[in-house]
Amino acid sequence: MTAPGQTLGLEMEMAVARSDTGASHPVAGYFERLARIKAARGEAPALSRIAGQDVGVSVAAGESGLDNGFNLLETAFSPVSASEGGLAELGRRVRRELEDALQALDAEGATVLNVSEHPACTLDPAWYAKVQVPRPIYRELVGHREWLHRVGIDAKAQNSPCTSVDVRQAARALNVVLALAPASVAIFANSPLENGRETGLKENRLTVWDRMFRYSRYAGDHFLQRLPERPFADLGDYFRWMFGPGTATRCLPLAVEDGYKSAAGVYLQGSPPLSRFMASDGWPGLRTDTGASLTVVPQGGHFEYSQFAHFLDARWRYRLDSHPPLDALREAWTRPGGIEDLYAGLGVTGYIEGRAPGAGFADAQLLQDAGRAVAATTVMAPSALQLGLMRNLEQAEDLVRDWGWLRLRALRADAMRHALDDDAVCALARDVLAVAEGGLDAGERHWLDYARYAAGSRSTGADRLLRLWREQAGQSGRLQAVCRARAAVPL
């Protein structure tokens, strides 16, 4: 069995703000400048466009793009293998990417903020219409499923570590990262403000899923952002939860080879759960582009395509070398460990995508409070934490049992509200750090320095931001002063 962390990736989101006023800023001309910076280094960048607008730059090291709005950058780094340097090499690429981003932004008077949500940005429909990325998928999510997508348009940003895991350990690793997520929520909390007001939460960013899905056309969408009442027994159990009764199949591609965010797809009539569709001989549907009726015949590829359906604090994401035969998939799904056996034979590459840590960067305030060595590990600390837990999986599972699944489930709300001010959450964070440290090699443990600093001082990015915000109360340049102290510094 392959040990976890043979490859490491990262999805790094960055809230953009005006350097002069601190206001949330949609980029313009950014990707052309970024492409020139990367081309000068010999990286052969390729620009991507949607509806005539530049939305990304791809090079071998990854894709620099956007999340939901032009005011929220997102870089998806290509996997870095252990033989290439693991955490150290990924950290080097992160620093270079941040340097590139800041250079490209500087030309339009903008910067990246050390926040996981812009502190003073509206969520109103006019702003949403102005800055949203015109992805075809949003027609389904907003127009068809009726998600309140604009609640995330104020640059709610996460720092998502991606840690490879053997398929036979995937459910165990997912359970651990999900159950212990309150520790990451608290340690990396960085969003106490929304629309220029204190929210009463240290990580307000994570209210986005409840708010987005609360009035969805399908109740199952809201269900799929809440941790279930017990751990997943195996991957078959995980997919039964995701695709079972009460859920509604997402838009399916006209051809299973089409990308996740492809332009045209099919809505299944009656919106059955994917499990019912996969058990059928065919299902009536309507094309999203023309409205024409057709019958969709289930294929193994539909199952793989639909893996993004939930919004928990972690996902298992995977790619198969070949699509599973439908009959083999149906049979495998009925027995314990069947999906693992089937996927191992098909050739599977998978990883745990952590979604609990808020975005965080070094800034002038953190440098003053904690020093350069600690500040330099801010972006990489979530990756080190997740890697350490997955390498130390048995002890991490013991920790989950000691604390109790349902207790940990309830602690998430306390972590969002109080972060490390809550004694139980702080105790959990310190327990989690000890287990993660035990899973890292001696030369890797320094990447936990920011997390150890936060847990030791009980001071998070949210606490530091609140301190700044309150110090500037009543001042005419309040947002400008706060954002100047919180501008990201590449270290």
pLDDT single digits (tens) 12-24:
999 999 999 999 9
- Is 256 found in the same domain as 147? no
Inside any domain, residue 99: yes
What is the structure's pLDDT at 263?
58
Q: Rounded to an integer, what distance in angstroms lies between the CA atom of residue 431 and that of residue 229?
A: 22
Inside any domain, residue 490: no
Considering only the C-alpha atoms of the chain, give the largest distance between any 2 of them, rounded to a whole number of Å.
67
Question: Is the pLDDT score of 375 beyond 60?
Answer: yes
For 237, residues 6+ apart whose C-beta sits below 8 A from its C-beta are 171
Question: Is the pLDDT score of 474 beyond 60?
Answer: yes
- Is 316 found in the same domain as 302? no
For 386, residues 6+ apart whose C-beta sits below 8 A from its C-beta are 161, 163, 177, 184, 352, 354, 436
- Is 404 found in the same domain as 302? no
Whichever domain contains 11, its CATH number is 3.30.590.20
What is the structure's pLDDT at 258?
58
Inside any domain, residue 1: no
Residue 293 pLDDT grade (very low, low, confident, very high; cuts 50, 70, 90): very high
For 115, residues 6+ apart whose C-beta sits below 8 A from its C-beta are 15, 155, 157, 190, 191, 359, 461, 465, 486
What is the structure's pLDDT at 264?
78
- Is 315 found in the same domain as 285? no
Question: Do residues 113 and 28 make contact, with C-beta atoms less than 8 angstroms apart?
Answer: no
Inside any domain, residue 2: no
The mean pLDDT of 115-132, rounded to a whole number, is 98
The number of helix segments (H) and strand segments (E) in the chain equals 22, 15
The mean pLDDT of 289-317, rounded to a whole number, is 95
What is the structure's pLDDT at 91?
98
308, 323, 358: which is the final residue of a domain?
308
Q: Name the average pLDDT for the chain.
A: 96
Residue 256 pLDDT grade (very low, low, confident, very high; cuts 50, 70, 90): confident
Residue 255 pLDDT grade (very low, low, confident, very high; cuts 50, 70, 90): confident
Q: Looking at this protein, which amino acid is placed at residue 203?
A: E
pLDDT in tens, 354-363: 999 999 999 9
- Is 143 found in the same domain as 91? yes
Residue 403 pLDDT grade (very low, low, confident, very high; cuts 50, 70, 90): very high
The mean pLDDT of 228-254, rounded to a whole number, is 97
Q: How many domains does the chain have?
A: 2
- Is 414 found in the same domain as 442? yes
- Is 211 found in the same domain as 129? yes
Inside any domain, residue 256: yes
Question: Is the pLDDT score of 262 beyond 60?
Answer: no
pLDDT in tens, 140-191: 999 999 999 999 999 999 999 999 999 999 999 999 999 999 999 999 999 9
Percent of the chain with pLDDT strictly greater than 70: 99
- Is 380 found in the same domain as 263? no
Q: Rounded to an integer, what distance in angstroms lies between the CA atom of residue 129 and that of residue 307?
A: 28
For 423, residues 6+ apart whose C-beta sits below 8 A from its C-beta are none
What is the structure's pLDDT at 257?
66
- Is 373 found in the same domain as 320? yes
Tell me which of 254-263, 413-422, 444-453 is least confident: 254-263
The mean pLDDT of 215-226, rounded to a whole number, is 97
pLDDT in tens, 166-180: 999 999 999 999 999
- Is 169 found in the same domain as 286? no
- Is 220 found in the same domain as 188? yes
The mean pLDDT of 244-262, rounded to a whole number, is 80
308, 336, 359: which is the final residue of a domain?
308
CB count within 10 Å of CB 259 equals 9
What is the structure's pLDDT at 22?
97
Question: Is the pLDDT score of 253 beyond 70?
Answer: yes
Inside any domain, residue 253: yes
260, 286, 308: which is the final residue of a domain?
308
Q: Rounded to an integer, what distance in angstroms lies between the CA atom of residue 396 and that of residue 437?
A: 11
Residue 60 pLDDT grade (very low, low, confident, very high; cuts 50, 70, 90): very high
What is the structure's pLDDT at 311?
97
Residue 3 pLDDT grade (very low, low, confident, very high; cuts 50, 70, 90): very high
Reference 202, options 469, 471, 430; nearest CA is 469
Q: Rounded to an integer, what distance in angstroms lies between the CA atom of residue 95 and that of residue 335?
A: 45
Inside any domain, residue 491: no
Q: Rounded to an integer, what distance in angstroms lies between the CA atom of residue 145 and that of residue 112?
A: 32
- Is 252 found in the same domain as 242? no
Inside any domain, residue 386: yes
Reference 308, options 317, 296, 297, 299; nearest CA is 317
Helix (H, G, I), strand (E, B) or coil at 315: strand
Could you tell me the residue range of the domain that residue 40 belongs to?
Answer: 7-247+309-485
